[in-house]
Structure 1
Amino acid sequence: MVKTKANENIPWYFASGFPLFWGLLFFAVVIPFFYRLPTALTMEDANKNVFIAERAYKDLYTLSNIGNKLLGSMENEIEAVNFILKELKKIKEDLLEDYFDMEIDLSQASGAFSYYTRLNVYQGVQNIAVKLTPKTSTSESYLLVNSHFDSKPATPSAGDAGFMVVTMLEVLRVIATTKQTFDHPIVFLFNGAEEVGLLASHGFITQHKWAPYCKAVVNLDAAGSGGREVLFQSGPNHPWLVNYYKKYIKHPFATTVAEEIFQSGIIPSDTDFRQFTTYGKIPGLDLAQCINGFVYHTKYDTIDVIPRESLQNTGDNILSLVRGLSNATELYDTKAHQTGHAVYFDFLGIYFVNYSEAIGKFFNISAAGAAFILIYVSLWRMADVSHVSICHVARWFILVLVIQIISFVLGLALPLVVAHVFDNLGLSLTYYSTPLLVIGLYVCPSLIGLSLPITVYCSLQRNDKISNAYHVQLALHGHAVILALLAIGLTIFGLRSSYIFVIPLIFYILSLVLNLMTTLHDRGYAWTGLLKASQIIPFVYSSYIFYILIVVLTPMGGRSGSSSNWDLYIAAMAAAGTVLSFGFLMPLINSLRRPSFVVLSLLVITALSMYLASSTQIGFPYKQKTNGQRVSYLQVRNMFYEYDGTLSKDESGYLFNFQDRLREKVLLGSKVDLNGLVGIESNCDTHMMCGMPVPGVSRLNSKWLPRSEPIMPPSLTTLDMVNKIILNSTTVRFEFKLKGPSQMNLVIQPYEDVTLSNWSFTINSKPTPSTITYVIYFKYGIDNSPLNFFLELSKPNGDFNVPLFQLGVSAHYIKDDGDAQSVKFASSFPSYSILDQWPALYQRFIF
């Protein structure tokens, strides 16, 4: 029988050094590798036929200096288009004409498509498409590379997506001037309407002459600025694309976890990738900038926050990837290569791992099975060495397994409890500008949950037949069983991200095998050396992947709306990362003489962090420029016209749609006068779509601040009923002409006994017969001609001389600051506020 005396334990003063070592490993390895970028190349390297960051940076400087490129504006429709065409002309002048043909096509598109609960209708949006074809190519399969040059309101959009536009220009420039041919023509699409509903990409893929030949797409976008671009969507069902990513990407940054989180719908963003896969039925790779999301869609998305090294990183990757895919034999028949999904991830940007979903299932189940077998062997070995029956050891193992399940649950739950309590106290987003608080608020409580139950157990248990060292091993076996069961369950459920549970499990199995093959397994705590060494790679990877998620998700808490407690997402990511990183490590504190010292230290750090977050300026979420508060509101004029044409209601005010959980709370003590701010629930109960100029506006998120002085729209928006034609005894047609700004919305609500049976918005598609409200977003680019449309309504009794339907028209004057009182109101906001506001006119008619 092997017994471990107390004095064989590691001295207690090493206790604080144990978690400190792993913390230092995180800051010394994970953080530097996460932010690592290659050296930016200059014009001196141009003769090497490689991506030149200096040249791309100069292009970005010019493009971003155009300013805000809103759909329909001169900056977007004229200046940005002219800049891109000018650069393309330069490239064509330098083209190796003996090797390539280059065709530039500027086109306009108009169309319509359903998007969630609304219909997007667009007119005159612009696309610049460039086709580069090798002289020797006979292929009719094209590779499509896409990004957009338009902007959200009030941002110069250097990162989103000017960064990707200039990357495409430089990639095209290098390929077109290098004597390196390829098999398939490449189409570079610079689209001018992504930010307003993915319009231009829909127009291209459904209408352009080259679209039918595009067989795969590389889509480039951004949800941040100035770091590495992440691959966050692939396929779907085309794992060969990930194989090409692995082969050709020089600086890999990708994970299936990001793909499955994005496709779950919790991310408040979308990309053109949706249009290409949905309407073009073509597979592809979706890549985006994701670092520093605090500047995303704000006035701070400038070239100043983008290092040249970031352009070099993305340029190296995209140039190599495009060259690889342009020679892909799979492009000849992509349908033949639809063979399921892929599992993929990078390790610190150094190495990329990918395999098919089928292999992943086999791998996960095999690892779990191996864990069960080896744990049984270990239990048998413990029984043999301790001279007790296997049943005796098994009974203690079951008890310890229950303890570990409690630890696992507490490790996940305690950070969520902290997030929930802070939210109830009105202290959400305390970590928003101080990310280190995540460690104290969420990581440390998770570590307490992981360590406290097993520490209490080890201090109280009095089993002299099985050594303390064996009890600690039983705890680790229990954690392995939990991971194995999760891996099996999530694999059966179809979650490809289940690989994150298998990685630490595999390395634990390896250390267990080595310990079982030697006498280390039975020599007190001698086995802990191999275990610690084996967990270095899993710790680094698990902390790396969840650090990525926290870095990407944290800024989204400032724009995810007030209805969701984003702190829960951050706490969940921190908890999951902690449990996976430290699950096989925290039980080892019981090899120390005073493991309670570690738990006490974690409690102190947690308490201190809570104090700093709740009672000091450290916990204030916002900082000017770097971590601003997004404030979104409209300067609204609501005008309600009755059936006889009389104006029954005319009101003005500011309609707030708060972007984060704190709503107006932090503004109440500022110079902003919010007296009279009320919810709009009562409006929603009595008026179509709440009687406001944003259809479907959330009743919980939005509040109304009345204003006594009428808001005067910058220009008139007119809706004229051109004609009313009775088609038959039960159907009547109304013909309208709408003239206004580049972004308008229509809301149609038939009365109870009336059905909207037809309209002019979609070809060969009628609205579903219903009494529900129909929402139409209308936007135009360079073509600002009036919208002519008709509505056909059916009524069983044929009485068309009574009210049949309500029609609401919202007009958004986005690039206008508003009248003097609106400008004064906007100037009263704190310096850390990032305003997103403009005048809007809502007119409600009854026909």
Structure 2
Amino acid sequence: MSVPRSAFSAARAMKHVLAIAKRPHPVGSAEHDQMRDYLIAQLRNLGLDPQIQNATGVCTRSADAGRVQNILARMPGRQSGGPAVLLVAHYDSVEAAPGAADDGAGIAAILETVRALRAGAPLLHDIIVLFTDGEEPGLLGAAAFVREHPWAKDVAMALNFEARGTTGRSLMFETGPGNLDAVRVLRTVPGVTAGSVFTTIYRTMPNDTDLSELALLGIPALNFAFGDGADRYHTSRDDIAHLNTGSLQHHGQQALALARAFANGPLPRQRTGDAVFFDLPLIGFVVYSEKWAMLLALVAAALAVVVIIRSRRESTRFGRDVVLGAAATIGAVVLSGAAAYLAGLVIALLHTIVPWGGAPAWSPVYWAAVAILSL
């Protein structure tokens, strides 16, 4: 089936992945230089004028530093030279992995997105493409861009594309500050998978992507990654054979839709607070201001009080029932936690004596088994 020129096609994007993921391409390797040259050639084929930012990147999150070669290109809009939308992925890999997913899929998604944008009507604002170098050693390329490149001051919205596995839906798992406005735009994209609980948890974790450095710009941002098949992450099995083209398609559909929406919308974006958001079957993507969260919690608490008062009036053994109910609830939580912990120990023990391979912590099958057992 033919895909329109202005639409995203995973089949077209996979041609880039095939070129990118032939072998590992860590910083400083000959394969890394080949990757740089390939990306510059592809950007030129798309009618852009790419440039290389040679700089020393100094990570603000660790003591890492090093020389990097970021690849940049700017696709002018009708109001060229002003605020722009930044599309980001890193083009280096770890030494062990060909990097089909991490981050060949992100690079390919952006290249195909730019091709589709060029095939459509001109956008209002510029699109800046940033293929960062040195992400794996310590976010070095992103740090260098933020600190030294003149285009950094023009960035009004950033979209970063990553991978923590080789398959699964592309989850929007991190945002910039004041995410209500950006998430409202995200709601207009079909098939979105996101949740404010994920972004809240991620903020407390030590994990980093290039967005950790881009956050210093203080701009709205959305970060995407697919993470199933995480046992292949940073291994030789992060290869073309294990990359799910459906994951690449989901990556790219969101990249294209959001690039169009933000580049044709007002830039800079309006300042807002944070949002509560989640996606539900049949209902779709739900978004509301965090300000409503306290009110909804108070309503729920009031309803609980009403139920308790009515139950007390109707039951002659209300006090005993409350104590028994609380004890049963606490006991169930403790027992389920203990059961899940013991199941984890058994699974870990089995992995030491059975040649299954892989780490049990990464297997969704085991997660499901432990969760079911804990019930």
Q: TM above 0.5, one fold?
A: yes
Q: Does 1:443 align with 2:372?
A: yes
Whether the 8 Å contact between 2:26 and 2:92 is mirrored in structure 1 is: yes
Whether the 8 Å contact between 1:251 and 1:349 is mirrored in structure 2 is: no
Q: Does 1:298 align with 2:235?
A: yes
Q: CA–CA distance in 2 between the matches of 1:146 and 1:246?
A: 21
Change (3 A) 1:353 1:59: same
Letter of the structure 2 residue corresponding to residue 84 of structure 1: L
Alignment partner of 1:275 out of 209, 213, 230? 213
SS in 1 for 2:76: strand
In structure 2, what is the equivalent of residue 86 of structure 1? 41
Q: CA–CA distance in 1 between the matches of 2:152 and 2:364?
A: 45
Higher-Rg member (1/2): 1
Q: CA–CA distance in 1 between the matches of 2:115 and 2:263?
A: 15
Change (3 A) 1:438 1:287: closer
Q: CA–CA distance in 2 between the matches of 1:232 and 1:258?
A: 6
Alignment partner of 1:216 out of 136, 143, 157? 157
In structure 2, what is the equivalent of residue 261 of structure 1? 201
Q: CA–CA distance in 1 between the matches of 2:308 and 2:326?
A: 17
SS in 2 for 1:174: helix
Letter of the structure 1 residue corresponding to residue 66 of structure 2: Y
Whether the 8 Å contact between 2:166 and 2:244 is mirrored in structure 1 is: no
Whether the 8 Å contact between 1:422 and 1:428 is mirrored in structure 2 is: no
In structure 2, what is the equivalent of residue 121 of structure 1? 65
Q: CA–CA distance in 2 between the matches of 1:170 and 1:434?
A: 31
Q: CA–CA distance in 2 between the matches of 1:297 and 1:358?
A: 40
Work out which structure has the larger RCO, using CA pairs closer than 8 Å and 6 or more positions apart in sequence.
2
Letter of the structure 1 residue corresponding to residue 14 of structure 2: Y
Q: CA–CA distance in 1 between the matches of 2:306 and 2:332?
A: 26
Q: Offset of 1:70 from its aligned partner? A: 0.6
Task: Give aligned pairs, total.
Answer: 367
In structure 2, what is the equivalent of residue 286 of structure 1? 223
Give me the TM-score of the superposition, normalised by structure 2.
Answer: 0.90
SS in 2 for 1:328: coil
In structure 2, what is the equivalent of residue 346 of structure 1? 279
In structure 2, what is the equivalent of residue 318 of structure 1? 255
Q: Does 1:73 align with 2:2?
A: no
In structure 1, what is the equivalent of residue 88 of structure 2? 146
In structure 1, what is the equivalent of residue 317 of structure 2? 396
Q: Offset of 1:369 from its aligned partner? A: 1.5
Q: Offset of 1:89 from its aligned partner? A: 1.7
Letter of the structure 2 residue corresponding to residue 83 of structure 1: Y
Change (3 A) 1:350 1:140: same
Ranges in structure 1 where 5+ consecutive residues have no aligned partner: 1-41, 93-101, 381-389, 448-847
Whether the 8 Å contact between 1:239 and 1:339 is mirrored in structure 2 is: yes
Q: Does 1:225 align with 2:183?
A: no
Whether the 8 Å contact between 2:176 and 2:218 is mirrored in structure 1 is: no
Whether the 8 Å contact between 1:61 and 1:303 is mirrored in structure 2 is: yes
Q: CA–CA distance in 2 between the matches of 1:50 and 1:299?
A: 32
Letter of the structure 1 residue corresponding to residue 106 of structure 2: M
Change (3 A) 1:260 1:411: farther
Letter of the structure 1 residue corresponding to residue 211 of structure 2: F
Q: Deviations over 1:646-702 (max 9, x none)?
A: xxxxxxxxxxxxxxxxxxxxxxxxxxxxxxxxxxxxxxxxxxxxxxxxxxxxxxxxx
Whether the 8 Å contact between 1:235 and 1:341 is mirrored in structure 2 is: no
Q: CA–CA distance in 2 between the matches of 1:429 and 1:140?
A: 59
SS in 1 for 2:324: helix
Q: Offset of 1:226 from its aligned partner? A: 2.0
Alignment partner of 1:105 out of 51, 55, 58? 51
Q: CA–CA distance in 2 between the matches of 1:320 and 1:302?
A: 27
Letter of the structure 1 residue corresponding to residue 38 of structure 2: F
Q: Does 1:203 align with 2:144?
A: yes
Whether the 8 Å contact between 1:415 and 1:443 is mirrored in structure 2 is: no
Letter of the structure 1 residue corresponding to residue 329 of structure 2: F
SS in 2 for 1:360: helix
Alignment partner of 1:193 out of 113, 134, 152? 134
Letter of the structure 2 residue corresponding to residue 193 of structure 1: G
Letter of the structure 2 residue corresponding to residue 443 of structure 1: I
SS in 1 for 2:236: coil
Whether the 8 Å contact between 2:8 and 2:249 is mirrored in structure 1 is: yes
SS in 2 for 1:261: helix
Q: How is 1:13-32 mapped onto 2 (pairs within 5 angstroms)? A: none
Q: CA–CA distance in 1 between the matches of 2:259 and 2:14?
A: 20
In structure 2, what is the equivalent of residue 407 of structure 1? 328
Whether the 8 Å contact between 1:139 and 1:183 is mirrored in structure 2 is: no
Q: Deviations over 1:537-556 (max 9, x none)?
A: xxxxxxxxxxxxxxxxxxxx
Percent identical pairs in the alignment equals 27
Letter of the structure 2 residue corresponding to residue 373 of structure 1: V
Q: Offset of 1:298 from its aligned partner? A: 0.4
Over the aligned positions, Cα root-mean-square deviation in angstroms equals 2.4
Q: Offset of 1:367 from its aligned partner? A: 2.4
Q: CA–CA distance in 1 between the matches of 2:117 and 2:103?
A: 21
In structure 2, what is the equivalent of residue 166 of structure 1? 108
SS in 2 for 1:45: coil
Change (3 A) 1:322 1:428: farther
